A and B are shown apart, each in its own frame.
Chain A
Amino acid sequence: SQTIHQWPATLVQPVGSPLSLECTVEGTSNPNLYWYRQAAGRGLQLLFYSVGIGQISSEVPQNLSASRPQDRQFILSSKKLLLSDSGFYLCAWSAGTGSRYEQYFGPGTRLTVT
């Protein structure tokens, strides 16, 4: 069966420090991958999605970047964190493109920038 992992589960980082969050999927190949962020009191917002290795689409301009170095690995990065980067980050995958493909979510990473 397919599983999705995220780490770390929680992270506290000072302003200006770098960031690397990792997401991996098992049990499937060529998944669509997604990064979402939930800021306090707000809904989940799509940050990036990827339909294949090296293919990244950004939804909103921001201080973050994403990479997909392997088929089932999706990394969220920042060179210098801002206070506004604090939030709950969720990775998700789907088997294809189109709303009939359900998105499956990871456990999330809670990031606090101090």
Chain B
Amino acid sequence: AQRVTQPEKLLSVFKGAPVELKCNYSYSGSPELFWYVQYSRQRLQLLLRHISRESIKGFTADLNKGETSFHLKKPFAQEEDSAMYYCALTPSGGYNKLIFGAGTRLAVHP
């Protein structure tokens, strides 16, 4: 079955600390992985996708097929990073159906 697991409901860190938001997936094929973010009073939006191999707002995520993980990392958290983060996958081929994890709330304290 296709599934995305985010084991932490809440991650609380201090400003300047490293951040790692965990994401594990279950999929037999070659999925495409994404991180979406929802800031307070804003809409859900795409943060980054693994296929682009990009760094957005200092965040990076590496797809580890052996561990079936796609953890989101940032070396130095900022207060404006506080938001709800969702990991999602799209099965290979066909339309772009998104399968989301339950989300992790990141709280960055001053």
Contact = CB atoms under 8 A, between A and B. Distances in A.
B45 interface: yes
Interface string B17-54: 00000000000000010000000000111100101000
Interface string B64-95: 00000000000000000000001010100011
B103 A43 contact: yes
Given A90-B44, A105-B44, A99 B96 contact: yes
How many chain B residues sit at the interface, stated as a range, is: 20 to 34
B98 A44 contact: yes
Interface residues of A, number: 26
A102 B95 contact: no
A106 B43 contact: yes
A35 B44 CA distance: 14
Contacts of A1: none
A107 interface: yes
A45 B96 contact: no
Interface of A: 32, 34, 36, 41-46, 49, 51, 59, 90, 94, 97-108
